[in-house]
Amino acid sequence: MSEHIDDADQAEGIEFEHLSIAVDGHVAIVTIEREDALNALNAELLLELATAFDLIEGDADVRALVITGAGRAFVAGADLQAFADVRDGFAGREAALTGQDVMNTLAALPIPTVAAINGFALGGGLEVALACDLRVAAAGAKLGLPEVTRGLIPGYGGTQRLQRLIGLARATDLVLTGRMVAADEALTLGLVSRVADDAAEAALALAQQCARNAPVALGLAKEALMRGVDVTLPQGLEIEADLFGLAVTTDDAKEGIASFFEKRDPDYRGS
């Protein structure tokens, strides 16, 4: 897990101040390391995350991603100091769009992504987790979108992704009260997929389980899920049929079917 991605062409000359990237098999692990600020998001960290996501997408050997935080927080929110003196609506809008771009890059990765919520996931931190495909929370984790308690609203996609994940009524409750929920309630709400004593360990195991599957199929399945969210059922079924048509033409599909009949583990190459 300590092996850093440092041999790819894209990585040459890149040094991260607020995060690290390691690999375990076919799984990349991004650890946010701004512990003095409970891993709060600032402009520099957002830029580093965007760079890390681009680097990971460019590595064909990476088939899944885990994101976690160092210390006692996943990400405790956006750094409020950055907004303390902002009185320009245009500047505020641009700040929100910048954060949304990073979350959109994460959400669009063609590999399974898992948030290992080891502690506080508040505001922008929960928005990072919401941009992941799956979320595993430690038993003592706290999650929420408390922006309204500070005169703000979620700006990195929280109002939109949360309602798509848990429904409008439940999302409205969390956004308008700004309250934090414990891991068990988050599981009941559908906000997280699993609760574990060790979120990082459980998230890695989940990512590794995903990474054993056919890489092209993973990307196409994720695309079908994401594109089907905002369309009618007939339109969604058309999307599914189109992507299934692509899947059956791949070498991975041939290998998967052959390995089934030959009673052996498949050897997927991602083609």
Q: What is the pTM of this model?
A: 0.90
Active-site choice (12, 17, 44, 127): 127
Structure tokens at 153: 């609203």
Q: Domain total for the chain?
A: 2
Residue for token pair 């299934």: 244
- Phi-psi category of residue 17: left, alpha or beta, with phi > 0 → left and psi -120 to 50 → alpha: alpha
245 & 202 share domain: no
Task: Identify the CATH number of the domain in which residue 256 sits.
Answer: 1.10.12.10
* pLDDT higher than 60, residue 108: yes
Same-domain status, 43 and 130: yes
| pLDDT higher than threshold 90 for residue 2 | no
pLDDT value at residue 226: 92
Place of tokens 């991260």: 16
Tell me: the pLDDT tens digits for 180-213?
999 999 999 999 999 999 999 999 999 999 999 9
pLDDT of residue 63: 95
User: Closest Cα partner for 29 from 103, 101, 118?
Assistant: 118
Is 147 catalytic? The answer is yes
Question: What is the structure's pLDDT at 79?
Answer: 75
Within this chain, do residues 147 and 220 fall inside the same structural domain, yes or no?
no
Residue 61: give the domain boundaries.
3-211
Spot the catalytic one: 17, 147, 223, 255: 147
Residues 162 and 255 reside in one and the same domain? no
pLDDT for 30-51, tens place per residue? Answer: 999 999 999 999 999 999 999 9
Q: What is the pLDDT of residue 93?
A: 87
